[in-house]
């Protein structure tokens, strides 16, 4: 069809697979299994490519979450993404990860899938580490002192 000339090879392949799934399920299952086998072989033959793809995909997911929560530390205003961490506002991070069955890295995907729920904020690593230990962040006290005079 004429619209296919504007599609990429991947788009045409997905369209073909969708058509096969509904019209010839046995052929679809065979092609799907062949694709999975080829993909697994590529991952085993070139683990460095798989690792690079995983890293790029995970970084994109993390950047999406950082952008949704403002790209800055809620306490001190740090904006460098390397220093920013996700914080459960209520301090229930361990319990939440246990409930949803995800580790720290997968929480970013959970947040996207749940439409960026309330109850999370970005903190820089320093602010995130000091709060549980002391119950406050020194930046908060500095900020309060500056504005009270």
In this prediction, residue 1 has a pLDDT band, given cuts at 50, 70 and 90, of very low
What are the Cα distances from residue 104, in Å, to 32, 40, 93, 96? 32, 26, 9, 10
CA distance 103 to 37: 28
Global model pTM greater than 0.85? no
Q: Is the pLDDT of residue 38 over 90?
A: no
User: Which tokens go with 43?
Assistant: 């991952």
């Amino acid at each position: 069809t004429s619209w296919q000339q504007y599609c990429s090879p991947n788009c045409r392949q997905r369209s073909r697979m969708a058509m096969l799934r509904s019209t010839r399920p046995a052929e679809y299952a065979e092609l799907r299994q062949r694709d999975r086998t080829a993909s697994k072989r590529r991952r085993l033959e070139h683990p460095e490519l798989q690792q690079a793809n995983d890293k790029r995909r995970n970084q994109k997911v993390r950047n999406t979450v950082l952008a949704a929560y403002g790209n800055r530390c809620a306490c001190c205003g740090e904006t460098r993404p390397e220093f920013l961490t996700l914080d459960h506002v209520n301090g229930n991070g361990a319990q939440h990860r246990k409930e949803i069955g995800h580790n720290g890295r997968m929480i970013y995907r959970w947040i996207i899938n749940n439409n960026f729920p309330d109850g999370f904020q970005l903190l820089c690593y320093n602010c995130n580490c000091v709060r549980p230990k002391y119950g406050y962040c020194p930046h908060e006290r500095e900020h309060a002192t500056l504005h009270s005079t």
